[in-house]
Amino acid sequence: MTQLLKVVLAIGTLLGGFSPMPDRPRLKPEQLLAVSSDVVIGTVVQVYTREKTVGGYRRTLCVSEIAVEEVVKGNAIKTNDRIFARYYHTKWTGGEPRPVGWNGQRGEPTGARIKVYLRGSRSSGFRVVEPNGFAPFPKMAELDKKGIANIQRRFREAYPRESMFVESPEVRRVLVIQSLAMSIEKDIEKLNTKDSDFRTELQSKIDDLDRLDDDKYKQQIETFRKQISEIPVNAGQSKKGVKATQNTG
């Protein structure tokens, strides 16, 4: 049986009945590691999908083909292997009010470099650990481009003589960490006016900061997570709803 046929059958097996899942707290990196049978770093080669609508939900069943670069945990997968990881996500299409609940894995697109936490085996296949077993894992150069371009520019403008040190890997790492922390602080201030997708992206940023493993930020990371947990999931939606009602009156 070819690998692609196995993928198709795996997606078909997942297309069973569906009922909404309650909200599920995100796991910290150390918790994800503990519950995983295998953990790998690699690049998404292809994502295979199939959709089914059940009871107002559009459910997308997914299988990610991953080219493995590094094995962090487990003996079933080897470097340079191609593996297939199953997961799903949902979208409510049944109108308002939208049920509160877990919407499945976000997944990562083709070409993304990721760290993925898995459960399973070669014989039964691998599933991505829920609720947040996918973690973007860009190389440092990619993170530099996305996270600190503006900081580098401001640094050069303010300190032209010292700007040569921005190219130092040590300084780049510090700037990346500072950039992420500042971005998270700003996003938390806006969280009560945003939707659940914004919350998911914010939680991913905090996971990124945690993976950079800087002891100075451990306490700050816990504070960020506590602040997010104290803001209701649907706070942004309810505020928009109130505003819309007032305008129509």
128 in Cβ contact with 200 (< 8 Å): no
Q: 109-141: b or e for each residue (b if 16 or more CB lie within 10 Å)? A: eeebbbbbbbbbeeeebbbbbbbbbbbbbeeee
CATH topology of domain 1-137: OB fold (Dihydrolipoamide Acetyltransferase, E2P) (2.40.50)
Predicted confidence (pLDDT) at residue 13 exceeds the cutoff of 80: no
Predicted confidence (pLDDT) at residue 245 exceeds the cutoff of 50: no
Q: What is the pLDDT at residue 90?
A: 85
How many percent of the chain have pLDDT more than 70? 67
Query: Which range, 87-91, 148-152, 162-166, is most confident?
Result: 87-91
Enumerate the domain spans of the chain. 1-137, 139-241
Predicted confidence (pLDDT) at residue 162 exceeds the cutoff of 90: no
